[in-house]
Amino acid sequence: MMGQIDNADETLLWFYVPSSTMIMQRGSKDMKLLSTGNELSCFTVILTCMADGRKLPPFIIFKRKTMPKEVFPPNVFVCVNKKRYMDGAMVLEWIWVV
C-alpha cells in the first residue's frame, strides 16, 4: 500500500542564473556585464518520491515543439510541451512512463 502513495513536486529550473554582484578593479569607470543571452531559458522538472522511500526518475518538460537532440541519461524522462508545465495530457503520460 505504501508503494502507491506518492509526493510529487513540479518546479521551474533555469539554464543560466546571472550573478547579482560584479567584481571590478577599484576606480573603474567602465562596467561590462557579459551575458549568455539565456536568462529566460528554463525547463520544468517533476521530482517524485513514494511513501515507501523509493524515488522515481525525474520527468523533464521543455517548452518546445520538437524533442531536443541531446542524449539524456536512461533514467530521465524528457518530453516537450508548448506551455512548459504539466497539463492533463502530461499527467497521463507521466503516470504511464514513470
**CA–CA separation, 33 vs 61, rounded Å?**
30
pLDDT in tens, the chain (98 residues): 777 888 999 998 887 776 777 777 777 777 666 666 666 688 999 999 999 999 999 999 998 889 988 899 999 999 898 887 788 888 888 888 87
Domain assignments of the chain as residue spans, ordered by start: 2-16+37-97
pTM of the model: 0.72
Q: Would you state the cell numbers that stand for residue 9, as one nine-digit string?
A: 513536486
- What the block records as the C-alpha cell of 75 is 533514467
